[in-house]
Amino acid sequence: GESVGLHLPTLSVQEGDNSIINCAYSNSASDYFIWYKQESGKGPQFIIDIRSNMDKRQGQRVTVLLNKTVKHLSLQIAATQPGDSAVYFCAETPQGGKLIFGQGTELSVKP
Amino acid sequence: DSGVTQTPKHLITATGQRVTLRCSPRSGDLSVYWYQQSLDQGLQFLIQYYNGEERAKGNILERFSAQQFPDLHSELNLSSLELGDSALYFCASSVAEGKLFFGSGTQLSVL
């Protein structure tokens, strides 16, 4: 069945280090992927997206990498800051279908 | 601020009761989505409306229903509430399929 999963449920990094959050997806027909950030008490916030015709996309301090061969998605956060502490969700859209969310990874940034 | 407004922020009610959650989408967005977030289930898609019509259904119980009004705001009705319905309910909107913008959610507690 369709599923989007995260390799690590929790990730702890030192402030200033780079963070890498990984995600595996199972639907090879998915053509659109999004990373969301959810802080405590708030709704998911869009971070960055990528379409299946790309393998890398950069934003401000964030980079998303897509490896369609192994159906893997990653979010890289450069120079991680305390404000980056949150739960990060990857989500996929199988060809115009509804957005399917993974379980989430909690990122904790140590000062 | 995502531009999506949800009310109320918190709702406490008893088993067997009925509640209505309200959502105003971002200006110009025609699609409204409802998601349920609980600790053990993650973000689960419930239902989508597009310009007043139901577009897609997810894991929505028969006790739950939704509608989208001509002014594009949406309501999610939850009836015969059970303890297990306690969760965060999010509304999201989008111009079209793909990137969703989420509200801050309604925390429902069924006692």
Instruction: Provide the shortest C-alpha distance from residue B33 to chain A (in Å).
Output: 9
- pLDDT of A8 higher than 50: no
| Distance (Å) of CA A102 to CA A11, A57, A62, A90 | 16, 20, 19, 6
Number of Cβ atoms within 10 Å of the Cβ of B96? 10
CB-based contact (8 Å) between B24 and chain A?
Answer: no
Measure the CA–CA gap between A2 and A98, rounded to whole angstroms.
11
| Cis peptide leading into residue B8 (ω within 30°) | yes
Residue numbers of B between 83 and 102 with CB closer than 8 Å to A:
90, 92, 97-102
B10-69 tens-digit pLDDT: 999 999 999 999 999 999 999 999 999 987 668 899 999 999 999 989 889 999 999 999
Give the containing element (helix H, strand E) for B88. Answer: strand B87-94
A6: confidence class by pLDDT, cuts 50, 70, 90: very low
Measure the CA–CA gap between B95 and A46, rounded to whole angstroms.
14
A26-85 tens-digit pLDDT: 788 899 999 999 998 899 999 999 999 999 999 999 999 999 999 999 999 999 999 999
Q: Give me A31's structure tokens.
A: 């053509």
Cβ contacts of B58-66, under 8 Å, gap ≥ 24: B58/A98, B60/B34, B66/B34
Per-residue pLDDT at A96 = 61
Measure the CA–CA gap between A50 and A58, rounded to whole angstroms.
9
Which of A34, A97, A101 is closest, CB to CB, to B99?
A34
Angle at B2 between CA B31 and CA A75, to 5 degrees: 95
- When pLDDT is averaged across residues B69-85 and rounded to a whole number, the result is 97
Identify the three-state secondary structure at position B84: helix
